[in-house]
Amino acid sequence: MVKELAIVTCKYCGKQFNRDILPFVQIPAGTRFRYAHSDCYKDAFQNGIEKNEYEIVDPKDNVMCAFCKKPIKKSSADCVDMGGGRYMHTACAEKDKLREKTPQEKLYEFLMTQCHYEFVPPNIQKQIQKMIEQNGYTYSGIHGTLRYWYIVKGEPIYKDNPVGIVPYKYEEAKEFYKLKQLLKQKNQDLLNQTTATKYITIKKPMIEKKKSTAFSFLDEEGANE
């Protein structure tokens, strides 16, 4: 099945193509990107239609950096395999480690890793947003439910709709984590009790003077005189 966002429209000829198969150019357009066939871009650049020079991305060797969204060659020493079909420039990977991710990013990262997505498909994103708005779910709650179902329970993941199970297992997952937290707290309390330092106060010993009985017979003899 072809990923939805892999099908793009060429900026110059207006025809659609699969950027996972054909060489292409990624062109910044505000906060998003437009795409073009490599040959269409070359013609536009040579004829002065396109003023900016962009790198041609070959899908056989190039991938998109999951952090900066710019192309990177998988064969390059600057490319870091993040797992789940995700790659980053070395510098981007370091920045990504230092940055505190939002609950949404953690959820999307989980989906990309488990489903081997390059990005979370728009239909999945819309489905997640709908559950948040209509069901009152949270990104962390959805993430926790997916971890419970696919990691803890070991159920096979349905890559075409991995979040479809969430409404059916959300409450079950919530109870699982509540119980897990309760058991963790009880174990911690028990550990604190067994390892707590007990202080025992010992009274200062009183020395009781006793008469020596070693020579008591002398006293007895004196008393009898």
pLDDT band (50, 70, 90) for residue 117: confident
Q: With respect to residue 115, please indicate whether it lies within any of the assigned structural domains.
A: yes
Q: What is the mean pLDDT of the chain?
A: 82
Q: With respect to residue 172, please indicate whether it lies within any of the assigned structural domains.
A: yes
* pTM exceeds 0.75: no
d(C-alpha 71, C-alpha 85), whole Å: 14
Q: How many domains does the chain have?
A: 1
Q: With respect to residue 175, please indicate whether it lies within any of the assigned structural domains.
A: yes
- Domain span at residue 165 reads 100-191
Q: With respect to residue 213, please indicate whether it lies within any of the assigned structural domains.
A: no
Q: With respect to residue 219, please indicate whether it lies within any of the assigned structural domains.
A: no
d(C-alpha 48, C-alpha 163), whole Å: 47
For 36-52, write each residue's pLDDT tens digit. Answer: 999 999 999 999 999 99
Q: With respect to residue 73, please indicate whether it lies within any of the assigned structural domains.
A: no
Q: With respect to residue 120, please indicate whether it lies within any of the assigned structural domains.
A: yes
Q: With respect to residue 211, please indicate whether it lies within any of the assigned structural domains.
A: no
For 69-116, write each residue's pLDDT tens digit. Answer: 888 888 888 999 887 677 899 999 998 888 888 999 899 989 988 998
